[in-house]
Structure 1
Amino acid sequence: MTTPDFIRAIRASAGNQLLLLPGVTAIVFDDRGRVLLGRRSDTGQWAVVGGIAEPGEQPAQTAVREVYEETAVHCVPERVVLVQMLEPMTYPNGDVCQFQDITFRCRATGGEARANDSESLEVAWFEVDDLPPLDPFAVDRIHRAQRDEPTWFAPVPAAGIGAERHA
């Protein structure tokens, strides 16, 4: 993943400290029900499409932009699949980030799937029952996007947050 200029500017003064960043994942299906994946240039692994929202950019627009930038496929977001705060991660250079991921189910509307930038080695459509090796993050999102269910989010404890202040 290429680091956006606005994050480079923040890092210039913030150093490696934890940054909370808005992440978007796009699970794109074609008319045959296949899912779009890219083989990442940084790890060589197949993955779902995703990226970081730019300042002022709506999350659904981020999904559309990232899918086109990485794969040359045009898509339309259909629904929010899940919203999740991911665990903090430390990059090899020491930068620490925590992503709040919003995953969208998207429908392909045009374009030819191909590696459209330096982030992907290759791009391809896969039958959901014949996926290449993927990390659990990707598999979970693909399966959730297939189902017609309400948006998933981590449950709040029964007492709710802040209940101890009102007890």
Structure 2
Amino acid sequence: MGRTEYYHAPKAPKANTLIPASNMLVVDDQGAILLQRRRDTGQWALPGGAQDIGESPAQCAVRECQEETGIVAEITGFLGVYSNPAHIVAYTDGEIRQQFEVVYIGRPVSGEPTINDEADGVRWVYPDDLHTLDIHPSMHKQIGHYLAGTYPYLG
């Protein structure tokens, strides 16, 4: 299923759903951040996705990280809650979602970066190299709060 992201776009469609999702900002011992390149947008992002019934937001973040990157991570902290009515994601099935993400900080426990159905690239990126990648502004915001130490973010 395809998707189009709108970020502070006056012509964005009106949201018709709000789905809880969780992201994981995983940092290795050398300070590199785990990113995936989304197949649906081509942009680099933190691993994350929609929460399933029967799981907590933290369980969702751990599951999504492993599914999307091949890395098993454990949670070490809380980055924040990110929900922006001006960040809209329109899916080809007609769902138009307002962003709502609970974001955790984690460290890798096991696994190797592995591509999959959702990500055609998975890699560790040092903060100084982030500017070389196409990263959505919402992900830049989350990563920026981590790097600046300005968390938890409760937006």
Structure 2 residue aligned with 1:14 = none
**Alignment match, 1:128:** 127
**Displacement after TM superposition at 1:146 (Å):** 3.1
Which residue does 1:142 correspond to in 2?
143
The runs of 5 or more residues in structure 2 that have no matched partner are 3-14
Instruction: Give the structure 2 partner of residue 44 of structure 1.
Output: 42
TM-score by length of 1: 0.75
Higher strand share: 2
In the TM superposition, residue 49 of structure 1 has moved relative to its aligned partner by 0.9
Task: List gaps (5 residues or longer) in structure 1.
Answer: 3-16, 155-167
- 1:95 is displaced (CA, Å) by 1.4
Distance 1:147 1:60, change over 3 A: farther
Find the counterpart in structure 2 of residue 6 from structure 1: none
Instruction: Provide, for residues 38-75 of structure 1, a one-character-per-residue CA deviation record: whole Å limited to 9, x for no partner.
Output: 11111222111110110021111111101101111010
What do residues 113-164 of structure 1 show as CA deviations (whole Å, max 9, x unaligned)? 111x20010101110110122111111111212344441113xxxxxxxxxx
| Residues 1:23 and 2:25 are matched in the alignment | no
Whole-Å separation in 1 of the counterparts to 2:83 and 2:139 = 15
Q: What TM-score results when the alignment is normalised by the length of structure 2?
A: 0.81
* Equivalence for 1:164: none
Indicate the residue corresponding to 1:34 in structure 2: 32
* C-alpha separation in 2, matches of 1:150 and 1:44: 28
Q: What's the counterpart of residue 85 of structure 1? A: 83
Aligned to 1:95: 95
Determine if contact 2:71/2:110 at 8 Å carries over to the other structure.
yes
Measure the CA separation in 1 of the matches of 2:67 and 2:78: 21
| 1:62 corresponds to | 60
Task: Kindly provide the amino acid, as one letter, of the partner of residue 35 in structure 2.
Answer: L
Provide the identity percentage.
33
Specify the alignment match of 2:6 in structure 1.
Answer: none
- Determine the C-alpha separation between the residues in 2 that align with 1:84 and 1:127: 23
* 2: CA distance, partners of 1:93 / 1:46: 23
Q: 1:150 to 1:127 in 2, by over 3 A?
A: closer
Structural RMSD (CA) = 2.1
Q: Report the AA paired with residue 114 of structure 1.
A: T
By relative contact order (CA 8 Å, sep 6+), the higher-ranking structure is 2
On the 8 A contact 2:145/2:151 being kept in 1, the answer is: no
Structure showing greater Rg:
1
Is the CA contact 1:86–1:101 (under 8 Å) kept in the aligned structure 2?
no
Q: Which residue in 1 is equivalent to 2:107? A: 107
